[in-house]
Chains A and B, each alone.
Chain A
Amino acid sequence: DAGVTQSPTHLIKTRGQHVTLRCSPISGHKSVSWYQQVLGQGPQFIFQYYEKEERGRGNFPDRFSARQFPNYSSELNVNALLLGDSALYLCASSLGGRRGQYGYTFGSGTRLTVV
């Protein structure tokens, strides 16, 4: 079984540009969460989606947006990139559901560098 797949693995963008990161969850998992990990810090929660609906949003500006598709894959979009957006972006998938699901499985991440 494939794990959580993220694309691309690495990306270099210029300040002010826009970026789209993609995530495919584990087959059967209906919830996708996005996290940002800056060097030397732990991952920080950005968004959670379940059944195509946003279920939670972390403390990130409106430049960050996401969506989930009918096949449960997800995209994270960041507009007007800043140098401080340089980070490892992690996608986590879980079964989700009303009582939540303890097993969050992370992908290997997309390393975004803004220059």
Chain B
Amino acid sequence: DQQVKQNSPSLSVQEGRISILNCDYTNSMFDYFLWYKKYPAEGPTFLISISSIKDKNEDGRFTVFLNKSAKHLSLHIVPSQPGDSAVYFCAARSSGGSNYKLTFGKGTLLTVNP
């Protein structure tokens, strides 16, 4: 049972345009959402996060939107740059007592073409 879903395995955009990566979740107990970026042969790198009590968080070129009623979040990258090409993982945090584990989606490979 996949609780965090990234339905687009890949996305290709032109440099300078907007990249929109989507993520859906099923567990209402998730209280925090994170986006990670991963290059080959490296571990995931934290990008941006959002608490479940917010609907938007912005950091430079990156904005994350959360629609709790639809159980959907999206990551917007504007403008996209070739260096943004990587696999992007959506992750959700659930707090079960003192255990704070992350549940990840399968990832979306973003390719930004010059």
Contacts and interface: CB of A to CB of B under 8 A. Distances in A.
Q: Which of A44, A94, A104 has the most CB of B within 10 A?
A: A104
Interface bin, chain B: 20 to 34
A33 B44 contact: no
Contacts of A101: 100
Contacts of A100: 93, 95, 98, 100
Given A43-B44, A55-B99, A58-B101, A102 B32 contact: yes
B98 A55 contact: yes
Interface bin, chain A: 20 to 34
Contacts of B49: 102
B106 interface: yes
Contacts of A40: 106
Interface string A35-53: 1000011111100101000
Contacts of B102: 33, 35, 43, 45, 92, 104
B101 A48 contact: yes
Nearest to B51: A102
B41 interface: yes
The 10 closest A-B pairs by CB, nearest first: A42-B104, A56-B99, A106-B43, A100-B100, A45-B101, A108-B43, A55-B99, A106-B44, A43-B104, A42-B106
Given A55-B97, A90-B43, A107-B43, 13 more contacts: A35-B104, A41-B107, A42-B89, A43-B89, A45-B101, A48-B100, A56-B96, A100-B95, A100-B100, A102-B49, A102-B93, A105-B46, A108-B43
8 contacts: A41-B106, A45-B102, A45-B103, A56-B100, A100-B93, A100-B95, A106-B44, A109-B42
Interface of B: 4, 6, 32, 34, 36, 41-46, 49, 89, 91, 93, 95-107
